[in-house]
Amino acid sequence: MTPTTDSAPTVGVPPLAGSARNGPRDVVRQSLALARRNMLQLRGDPGQLLDSVVMPMVFTLIFLYVFGGAIWGDRPGDYRQFLLPGIMVQTLMFASRSTGYLLAVDFDNGVMDRLRSLPIARSAVLTGRIVADMSRLLLGQVVMLLFALAIGFRVETNVLLAVAALLLTLLYGTALAWVSAFIGLTIRSPNTVQSVGFLWMIPLQFGSSMLVPTSTMPGWLRVFAEANPTTLVTDACRNLLAGGPIAGPVLGTVLWSVGLMCFAVPLAISRYRRR
């Protein structure tokens, strides 16, 4: 142990708060305390859940029963088996936007001023946010899977692969959450963060195999769609749940997610430090 110079009590002056330097254990404790607060926030504001779980359910019903016939035509198999993994990915993508939004809200209402004037590790605030958001994403995925099963989706593989599907989508969602964090820390107004978070994902979502097979797309779009990480993660999720080739899309998803995080994490951290 290194001796701390500030332990000598000056009469009448309260001791310094926190530790002289934040060690790994301090950072973990601080991150978990903040993650806990972020999770409680979810309970205090159920609207957040509504947005991230109920909306995709409504979306599913519309796609399945309104557009389903037109989209699927007389292809072999069931559109249900195709659509529901896609919806799971969509749920995840929408839910990942909250990371940036909630960070912007914390800056907006002064909570961040308090946190930034406390002797805590800078990284704890972002880590606490991401940890809470990962739990939220996973919760959303589990709820969506149960919903899918309830409306007739069948897992044609096994439990192990189904769990792998959840973890893989969670990885992609975490990468997107970091991008969202970067957006939220760059743009100040929470409402703008919300819109930008929505806009940049539109090509990513709709130029993919998420809702429709890519085979009917014009050539140029198909090129985009097939390189799109959303297509990869959707295919991976689909094949892990309903059978089909796994290695290619899984590897592609992992590479894309890790690659995205290699950019988004340092960018978000440097943004956070500079504000």
Partner 1 sequence: MTLAIEVEGLVKRFGAHRALDGVDLAVPAGQILGLLGPNGAGKTTMVRVLATLLRPDAGRARVFGYDVVEEPHQVRRCIALTGQFASVDGNISGRENLYLIARLLGVPARRARSEATGMLERFRLAEAGGKPAREYSGGMRRRLDLAASLMGEPRLIYLDEPTTGLDPHSRNELWAMVKERALAGATVLLTTQYMEEAEALADSAVVVDKGRVIAAGTAADLRARVGGRTLEIRPAHPRDLAALAGSLALEGLDGRIDQETCVVRLPLVEPDELTRAVRAVTASAVEVLAVDTRVASLDEAFIELTRSTA
247 near partner 1 (CB under 8 A):
no
> Using the rule CB under 8 A, is 44 a contact of partner 1?
yes
Does 270 participate in binding partner 1 (rule CB under 8 A)? Answer: no
Q: Two tokens at 195?
A: 């819109």
Q: Which is nearer to partner 1, 111 or 255 (CB)?
A: 111
Q: Please state the closest distance from residue 200 (CB atom) to partner 1, in A.
A: 27
Least separation in angstroms between CB 170 and partner 1: 24
> Within a 10 A sphere around the Cβ of 39, how many other Cβ atoms?
16
Residue 111 in contact with partner 1, rule: CB under 8 A: yes
Q: How far is the CB of 117 from partner 1 (least distance, A)?
A: 4
**What are the helix (H) ranges across 151-189?**
159-186
Q: Exactly one of 1, 2, 3, 14 binds partner 1 (CB under 8 A); which one?
A: 14
CA-based nearest residue to 205, from 97, 65, 111, 101 = 97
Closer residue to partner 1 (CB): 119 or 245: 119
User: Does 29 engage in binding with partner 1 (CB under 8 A)?
Assistant: yes
- What is the nearest approach in angstroms of partner 1 to the Cβ of residue 38? 9
Q: Interface with partner 1 includes 75 (CB under 8 A)? A: no
The residues near 34 (Cβ < 8 Å, ≥ 6 apart) are: 115, 124, 125, 127, 128, 129, 132
| Shorter beta-carbon distance to partner 1: residue 118 or 251 | 118
Query: Which amino acid is it at 111?
Result: V
SS3 content of the chain, % helix, strand, coil (to 5): 75, 0, 25
Binding partner 1 by CB under 8 A: which of 7, 24, 74, 114?
114
Could you say whether residue 273 binds partner 1 (CB under 8 A)? no
Provide the token pair at 89. Answer: 């990915």
Judge whether 231 and 214 are in contact, CB under 8 Å.
yes
What is the CA angle 195-187-96, rounded to 5?
55
Q: Examine residue 271 and tell whether it contacts partner 1 (CB under 8 A).
A: no
Q: Is 40 in the site for partner 1 (CB under 8 A)?
A: yes
Residue 116 interacts with partner 1 (CB under 8 A): yes or no:
yes
Q: How many CA atoms lie within 13 A of 266 on its CB side?
A: 5
Amino acid at position 13, single letter? V
* Contacts to partner 1 from residues 155-194, by CB under 8 A: none
Name 93's Cβ contacts closer than 8 Å, sequence gap at least 6. 173, 176, 201, 204, 205, 230
SS3 label, residue 78: coil
Q: Which is nearer to partner 1, 34 or 145 (CB)?
A: 34
Q: List interacting residues with partner 1 (CB under 8 A).
A: 10-22, 26, 29-30, 33-34, 36-37, 40-41, 44-45, 109-111, 113-120, 124
